[in-house]
């Protein structure tokens, strides 16, 4: 799942691939702002057929957090 999230970050959000690790902070390490995070969440919802509530999105601090959440909730 990490590799799939990494691909979305590179292709859709424009993050440099070399800076993406499971431990990378979405905001401080990758420079993702709240609008870009919302876009990433929307892409994940569409791609994996899930719904991510706003309060759940607030728990996404690292790339690994996103990958783990989607792995646990995808259909």
- pTM for this one? 0.92
Provide the domain limits for residue 15: 2-73
The pLDDT value given to residue 74: 87
CATH number of the CATH domain containing 36: 1.10.1200.10
Domain count, the chain: 1
From CA 71, how far away is CA 75, in angstroms rounded? 9
28's tokens: 């401080």
> pLDDT 10s digit of each residue in the chain, 75 long?
999 999 999 999 999 999 999 999 999 999 999 999 999 999 999 999 999 999 999 999 999 999 999 999 987
Extended beta strands in 19-69, E state: none
């Amino acid at each position: 799942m990490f590799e799939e999230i990494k691909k979305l970050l590179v292709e859709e959000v424009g993050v440099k691939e070399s800076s993406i690790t499971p431990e990378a902070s979405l905001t401080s390490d990758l420079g993702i702002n709240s609008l870009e995070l919302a876009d990433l969440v929307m892409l994940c919802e569409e791609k994996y057929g899930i719904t991510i509530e706003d309060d759940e999105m607030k728990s996404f601090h690292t790339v690994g957090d996103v990958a783990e959440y989607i792995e646990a909730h995808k259909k």
